[in-house]
Amino acid sequence: MLIVQKYGGTSVGSFDRIRNVAGRIKSLREDGHQVAVVVSAMGGVTDKLVTMARELCDEPPEREMDVLLSTGEQQSIALVTMALRQLGVEAVSITGRQAGMKTSGSHTRARIEAIDPTLSRRYLGEGKVVIVAGFQGVNEEGLIQTLGRGGSDLSAIAFASSVRADLCQVLTDVDGVYTADPRVVRDARKLPEISYDELLELASVGTKVMQSRSVEFAKKYGVKFEVRSSLNNNPGTIVTEEHEAMEAVVIRGVSIERSQARVTITGIPDEPGMSALILGVLGEAEINIDMIISNTAHDGYARHSFTMHTNDLGRVQAALKPVLSDLGGEANLESEAGIAKLSVVGIGMRSHSGVAAQMFKALGEGGINIGMISTSEIKISVTVEEARIEDAARVVHSAFGLDTAPA
Ligand code: ADP
Ligand code: ASP
Ligand code: MG
């Protein structure tokens, strides 16, 4: 079998952990498998590089950030390879460029366009284990680009797809995908399986066990993969196409997103083109906004609210200020920080009614006030005061029986 594995930052976070990874890879080789491994930077290294950049520059140029951040993975691939050689395993490290990772789009959040696996195939054919730097690639101009935080997940899924791996495993510091972050909800349970759509929705609202774009890629190219622990041999979570039995579960998981802020613009003339004007400037400024709620006009004026990460609040305010005058004399901007978002996700929601009511009732009974609400076909999100987000997650997790029901 050709196995592609990915080890995240914690899994290669110390010399002992690196030796552990090398030992695991060695046993796969001894079982006769071809192995390619995508690795992240050692835990904390990428954050440290970001801090270093900010020491010297208020707004570090993104091109240079990519040059800097990609060094984290360059260290870890060499170290993992050395640990393997120490165990007598033939292994070579390759950077994103050498692995043929072709990227496009903006620096620090590039997309993988294509992968040319020629060199990787050659090494694999020679019986070597290939250790690939995650999180990085090069664009058409030959410039180094990174794939957004957590981007090694995407490198691994895309790599597995390009070499047509028989098995793709994402190894991390938890046993799989849980019904909620096990660090927050102690009674969270590991899910034996989850559909692409559910994991994609969860990842896009804060479940960082997989980067959301990696799940999107896996869905698009049909890459079935498993999330499991690098520290034990427990079975993990299979991420796959949905099948009928999955719809019986109404809520698959609960997710939280902290450090959110809300901006509300009031006094917007009730005329065509106003929303496009507001959202257009935010789009141009490349700011991701999230929940968008617009209220029906009252006395000829409408209001729009949306949420974003607190780090983006200043940029949103700055981008919208000039627009206020274009909206006329009544327009006003209010903002609020210190909120968080709680979401429940499940494909079973499509065929079950009353799910939102059940969620709101649980929050009400827990004395937790709901701010904004938004829903999609398989997700319900609400904002709550940030100080109450963990209580909110636990209350809702238990209201849907996620701590007890078999998955
Ligand atoms: P890696 O370094 O391996 O990429 P991450 O730190 O990115 O690992 O992701 C693993 C972490 O994701 C876990 O330690 C866990 O706290 C967090 N997490 C959040 N939500 C979930 C969930 N629903 N299931 C499992 N882990 C979750
Ligand atoms: N090292 C990168 C990060 O910390 C990529 C990854 O770990 O997936 O975001
Ligand atoms: Mg990660």
This prediction's pTM: 0.94
Nearest CA to ligand 1 atom 12: 209
Q: Which ligand is nearest to the CA of 184?
A: 1
230 assigned to some structural domain: no
Q: Compute the distance between CA of residue 148 and CA of residue 124 in angstroms, rounded to an integer.
A: 28
Find the CATH number of the domain harbouring 100.
3.40.1160.10
Domain residues for the domain of 93 are 2-173
Written as six digits, the tokens of 137 are: 């690639």
236 assigned to some structural domain: no
386 assigned to some structural domain: no
Q: What is the pLDDT at residue 327?
A: 86
Q: Which ligand is nearest to the CA of 9?
A: 1
146 assigned to some structural domain: yes
Q: What is the pLDDT at residue 289?
A: 86
What confidence category does residue 285 fall into, taking pLDDT thresholds of 50, 70 and 90?
A: confident
71 assigned to some structural domain: yes
Span 107-125, average pLDDT: 97
Cα-to-centroid distance, 389 and ligand 3 (Å): 22
| Position 407 pLDDT exceeds 60 | no
Classify strands 225-229 and 237-240 as parallel, antiparallel or unpaired: antiparallel
Nearest CA to ligand 1 atom 25: 177
Distance of CA 347 to the CA centre of its chain: 19
| Position 330 pLDDT exceeds 90 | no
Cβ of 8 below 6 Å from ligand 1: yes
374 assigned to some structural domain: no
Q: Which ligand is nearest to the CA of 68?
A: 2
Q: What is the pLDDT at residue 328?
A: 82
Cβ of 208 below 6 Å from ligand 2: no
Our mutation pick for probing the ligand 2 site, out of 12, 17, 39, 40, counting the most ligand atoms within 8 A of Cβ, is: 40
**Count of structural domains within the chain:** 1
Q: What is the pLDDT at residue 288?
A: 83
Poorest-pLDDT segment among 5-14, 164-173, 286-295, 386-395: 286-295
Cβ of 40 below 6 Å from ligand 2: yes
Q: pLDDT of 205-238, one tens digit each? A: 999 999 999 999 999 999 999 999 999 999 999 9
User: What is the number of other CB atoms lying within 10 angstroms of the CB of residue 227?
Assistant: 25
Span 356-385, average pLDDT: 96
Unique residue bearing structure tokens 């729009």: 304
| Position 406 pLDDT exceeds 70 | no
160 assigned to some structural domain: yes
Q: What is the pLDDT at residue 166?
A: 97
Q: Compute the distance between CA of residue 124 and CA of residue 407 in angstroms, rounded to an integer.
A: 38
Q: pLDDT of 122-144, one tens digit each? A: 999 999 999 999 999 999 999 99
Among 282, 339, 277, 336, smallest CA distance to 302 is for 277
Q: Which of ligand 1's atoms lies nearest the C-alpha of 183?
A: 16
Span 380-392, average pLDDT: 97
What confidence category does residue 405 fall into, taking pLDDT thresholds of 50, 70 and 90?
A: low
51 assigned to some structural domain: yes
What is the average pLDDT score of the chain?
A: 95
